[in-house]
Amino acid sequence: MTGEESEKSSYQNQTAKAFTLTSASWFAVATTFGLIAATYLMAPDFVANIEFVHFGRMRPMHINAVLFGFVTPGLLAAAFYYIPRLLRTQLYSQKLGVLTAIFWNATVAAGIVGVSLGYTQGREYAELPWIVDIMVVIVFALVLFNLLMTVTQRMEPILYVSVWYAIAAVVLTACTYCLGNVIWKPDTGALVGIPDAILLWFYGHNIFGLLLTPLALGVAYYVLPIATRSPLYSHTMSLIGFWSLIIVYTHVGTHHLLQVPVPTWLKTISIVDSVAMVIPVMVVLINLWYTVKGKLGEIHADIGAKFIFTGTIYYFFANMQGSMMALPHVQRITHFNNWVVGHAHVGVFGFAGITALGGLYFILPRLTGKPLHSRFLADLQYWLILIGITGFAVVLTTVGLIQGNAWYNGETLYRTLPEIQPYYIARASLGTLIMIGAYLGLYNIIRSLYFNRGAAT
């Protein structure tokens, strides 16, 4: 019996498998939505008369599919795999886990169909209708219950940092989702005026900082030492990174509102803490990069680790960009244009999404006890995605600078449109590469999970 086969027989994996399939499927759907939105921006007559897929609906459909369909379930799939192993116990309930995955899919589908039919609460990242908000809270509560019960029945007394990150992400999101979506006001899902904006962006940035970031770091902390067969460089640093993230990231939301009349003290806190984000980010990155130092060969050999290491580099860029974007003088140019969209893709896709894919590829052979259906397809997907996201970063940052400078200098909007058209064509073309990568990945993952004859290619 190989190591992978014996591991498979001693642990049950249905929940991790269900979340893997969920993530890979929504990745394909979400990139299709993204491409439709990008095509509309390139050629505004495209689908202009079909209300269900019009840009105003397609954009929130894309974002919700990406956040709640692809990235979060992908990272949770890995968490459902590594938490029992790190705690040397079984997952509390596989049945509950699979039911949660089914309910999770129903929730995302209900949200997307709802938004496509025009049922939206119209607040960015909090668009989902009230009934779907309740479903989201229920799924997070179910995940939390299953994970916490697993922690209580653990055989391993020490909680490795990945467990801290995963549990914190689920606990904190279950709370901030209720707050940010103002779920106690079902009719509007909003407060009134400036307090609403402050609350919304407290929640909005927590989705990135207290959901995607800790889940992704948990996966990176688990996979990179195993793939390179190296002990973690420093456990102390891993705890400093965790607690500084919790302390600093909770205060940055108002950096989205620097040009809005919110209290100055709140803006100051958000700016100072956005710059201070360098601490949790660099502590984690130094720790991970020192762990894998001199082992790039091993990383290259493991497709999961390859994705995840790439994700850590994008985390570095997201942080460098983000800390600068929070400075009011820089934001005068970068706010309200494609610079921010570029940063959003660097963070949510380049860092969290690519790490999620790495987690899926790392656990897949261990879930099935067989090699991936096709390592070639996984590598091809890696390159399509890497070219796509790097291209996105360059193109959207450039467009942002054109738009930001034009606005700053009082240029009339319509005169900038011909100038940015070629960049929109480039973005849609790069998006096509990413979308092809997503469908190839879906095919490879379905074959690896269900129709795997065990032949390595």
Q: Which residues bind to ligand HEM, rule: CB under 6 A?
A: 31, 34-35, 37-38, 41, 59, 62-63, 66, 70-71, 124, 208, 212-213, 255-256, 274, 277, 281, 318-319, 322-323, 325-326, 331, 334-335, 340-341, 343-345, 347-349, 351-353, 431, 434-435
Nearest residue relative to ligand HEM (C-beta): 322
For the CB of residue 347, give the shortest distance to ligand HEM in the complex, in Å: 2
> End-to-end alpha-carbon separation of the chain, Å?
21
Cβ proximity to ligand HEM: between 200 and 367 the closer is: 200
Cβ proximity to ligand HEM: between 61 and 163 the closer is: 61
Cβ proximity to ligand HEM: between 310 and 323 the closer is: 323
- Which single residue is written with the structure tokens 């590598």? 379
Cβ proximity to ligand HEM: between 76 and 86 the closer is: 76
For the CB of residue 169, give the shortest distance to ligand HEM in the complex, in Å: 12
Neighbours of 3 (CB within 10 A): 9
394 closest CA partner among 417, 427, 347: 427
- Residue 182, sorted as left (phi over 0), alpha (psi -120 to 50) or beta, turns out to be left
For the CB of residue 355, give the shortest distance to ligand HEM in the complex, in Å: 10
Cβ proximity to ligand HEM: between 98 and 333 the closer is: 333
For the CB of residue 421, give the shortest distance to ligand HEM in the complex, in Å: 14
Using an 8 Å Cβ cutoff, are 357 and 74 in contact? yes
Q: Packing angle between helix 213-228 and helix 303-325, nearest 10 degrees?
A: 140
Cβ proximity to ligand HEM: between 59 and 295 the closer is: 59
75 closest CA partner among 179, 167, 178: 167
For the CB of residue 271, give the shortest distance to ligand HEM in the complex, in Å: 9
Cβ proximity to ligand HEM: between 199 and 212 the closer is: 212
Using an 8 Å Cβ cutoff, are 243 and 99 in contact? no
For the CB of residue 152, give the shortest distance to ligand HEM in the complex, in Å: 30
For the CB of residue 140, give the shortest distance to ligand HEM in the complex, in Å: 18
Mind giving me the DSSP string for 156-178?
A: --S--HHHHHHHHHHHHHHHHHH
Distance CA 177, CA 189 (A): 11
HSE of 19, CA atoms in CB hemisphere, 13 A? 29
Cβ proximity to ligand HEM: between 295 and 343 the closer is: 343
For the CB of residue 238, give the shortest distance to ligand HEM in the complex, in Å: 17
Instruction: Give me the helices (H) in 207-302, please.
Output: 213-228, 235-249, 264-276, 278-291, 296-301
Mind giving me the DSSP string for 381-411?
A: HHHHHHHHHHHHHHHHHHHHHHHHHHHHTT-
For the CB of residue 298, give the shortest distance to ligand HEM in the complex, in Å: 26
305 closest CA partner among 368, 346, 348, 354: 354
CA angle 64, 68, 71 (to 5 degrees): 110
For the CB of residue 332, give the shortest distance to ligand HEM in the complex, in Å: 10
Cβ proximity to ligand HEM: between 38 and 132 the closer is: 38
Residues 6 or more apart in contact with residue 404 via CB below 8 angstroms: 332, 333, 334, 335, 337, 339
Cβ proximity to ligand HEM: between 162 and 213 the closer is: 213
